[in-house]
Amino acid sequence: MENGHEEGQYNGHDRRGREDYKDLDRLLDEASQSIEGEDLRGANETLKRAAVKAASMWGEVGRPRLPEHTRRLVGLIGEVQQDLDSPGQSAPNGFPEEISELRSRFEFEARRDAGQPTL
């Protein structure tokens, strides 16, 4: 138990647990590695899984819009899919930086949900 939360236990006001954040971070890392290896199809599939994970973590009845960082993740899928349809299939410019920024943002959310300092 750390900060009053058991491993995988959800906090009192949201549906997001530490394990959810770990899974999401793992998926974003996997997508980043796929891009670095020029595997756009692998990155596309991994980003889809990450987007579903993030949407399930924040989506709820009565909440019409997902948070900005989750919508940015979904937008990356469109960028990768456009590049898959292009001749030459090269990785989008700035993609690793965007994934890094998203990972940082989700880490911030994980710390906030766990009641840890969010410097």
- pLDDT, one tens digit per residue, over 61-76 is 566 667 888 889 988 8
pLDDT at 80 over 70: yes
How far apart CA 39 and CA 13 sit, in angstroms, is 38
Average pLDDT on 35-47 reads: 91
CA–CA distances in Å: residue 42 to residues 6, 67, 79, 90, 107: 33, 25, 14, 13, 23
Q: pTM of the prediction?
A: 0.77
CATH topology (fold) of 18-113:
Four Helix Bundle (Hemerythrin (Met), subunit A) (1.20.120)
Residue 36 is encoded by which pair of tokens?
Answer: 């670095």
Q: What is the pLDDT of residue 27?
A: 97
Q: What is the pLDDT of residue 15?
A: 66
